[in-house]
Amino acid sequence: MHLFVGLGNPGPRYAYNRHNIGWIALDEIVELFRFQPWRQKFQGLIAEGTLGGEKVLALKPQTFMNESGRSVGEAVRFFKIPVDRVVVFYDELDLAPGKVRVKQGGGAGGHNGIRSIDRHIGPDYWRVRLGIGHPGDKARVHGYVLSDFAKADEAWLDPLIEAVADSAPMLALDAPDKFMSRVALDMSRVGE
């Protein structure tokens, strides 16, 4: 079993924030692959499904971002999921909008949700970093990530979310390089 986690903040006020791109991606995966309906558990919402023949538990922590690790830790311990089978989708300021990078382990890079997960399960899980771009000034970062995507962002955001969802089975099949290549190829066709 894999645990796919989407990071975001709960509530309608945050639903379309840049900081919630992890939730947006996970929602698309759950819908595309017809997972079971969301239900409450582990201080979050969970849905079960299958990707590439592998059982996947989708989790959207309902704590605020900086406490996401509590929810993730509970699910990991309950299901005895090895940390290297945990995949976390989240926003990345240091990647251009529409770019994706996957890696196992590493630092939190200033991301409070990642820092919280590190505290609860250690750093050796897989990270799917979804580029949202940087506002250009460090003082503007907080407001930027907590603001909604602009209408113009839909030109790259919608294709990115579709590409990530379409390629998600590769993550369940432990093929992160193929996942990244496929998403990059799909994104290279945007606007053709």
Instruction: Out of 19, 111, 120, 142, pick the active-site residue.
Output: 19
Total structural domains within the chain: 1
Q: Which is nearest to 26 in space by CA: 40, 8, 12?
A: 8
pLDDT of the residue at 192: 67
Average pLDDT of the chain to the nearest whole number: 96
State the average pLDDT over residues 8-14: 94
- Taking phi first (over 0 means left), then psi (-120 to 50 degrees means alpha), and beta for anything else, what does residue 21 get? alpha
Backbone torsions φ then ψ of 49, nearest 5 degrees: -160, -170
pLDDT-above-90 percentage for the chain? 96
Q: Which is nearest to 142 in space by CA: 108, 112, 120, 181?
A: 112
- Taking phi first (over 0 means left), then psi (-120 to 50 degrees means alpha), and beta for anything else, what does residue 12 get? alpha
- Is this structure's pTM higher than 0.95? yes
Contact between 89 and 58 (Cβ < 8 Å) = no
Query: Does 191 have pLDDT greater than 80?
Result: no
| Domain CATH for 123 | 3.40.50.1470
pLDDT of the residue at 190: 85
pLDDT digits (tens, 9 = 90+) for 16-38: 999 999 999 999 999 999 999 99
pLDDT of the residue at 4: 98
Query: Does 176 have pLDDT greater than 70?
Result: yes
Indicate if 19 belongs to the active site: yes
pLDDT digits (tens, 9 = 90+) for 36-72: 999 999 999 999 999 999 999 999 999 999 999 999 9
- Tell me what percent of the chain is helix, strand and coil, each rounded to the nearest 5: 45, 25, 30
Range of the domain at 102: 2-188
State the average pLDDT over residues 120-148: 95
State the average pLDDT over residues 180-184: 96
Contact between 55 and 2 (Cβ < 8 Å) = yes
Contact between 157 and 100 (Cβ < 8 Å) = no
